[in-house]
Amino acid sequence: DAYAQLCLHDSDRFRLVVTTNFDELVEKAVDAASLSVGLPRVQVIANHNSEVLRASLTDARRPIVLKLHGDPVHGVMNTPQEIKEIPLDLAEVLKKDRAFAKAVYVFIGWS
């Protein structure tokens, strides 16, 4: 419900969700919230595919969940070497779109 309220307030600033979680909880929540406020279904990018991300960022209304550490379907990245840094091509797409510059950051976690 909280994400749906944020989308109603300003869907452009809250349409890119970046997570390191492997599970589907984040994308399921974003998808349900997006549909409840009349936005398109969520685009999940879990394999560091910069071309898919670039294309998805051009759709101003479609919410995106970018899973930096992958997922069970597309492959999990969990070794220190795999998670050391964002791949250069993906970082360039995010930088060019200014996705992080215009973002609102919300950190959610547990231990």
The answer to whether 3 and 13 are in contact (CB under 8 A) is no
Beta strands in 1-111 (DSSP E): 16-19, 43-45, 64-67, 70-71, 75-76
Per-residue pLDDT tens over the stretch 62-88? 888 888 888 888 888 888 888 887 788
Per-residue pLDDT tens over the stretch 86-110? 788 888 888 887 777 767 676 665 5
Q: Which two tokens stand for residue 29?
A: 């929540």
Per-residue pLDDT tens over the stretch 1-29? 565 566 555 556 667 888 888 888 888 88
- CA atoms of 55 and 50, how far apart (whole Å): 9
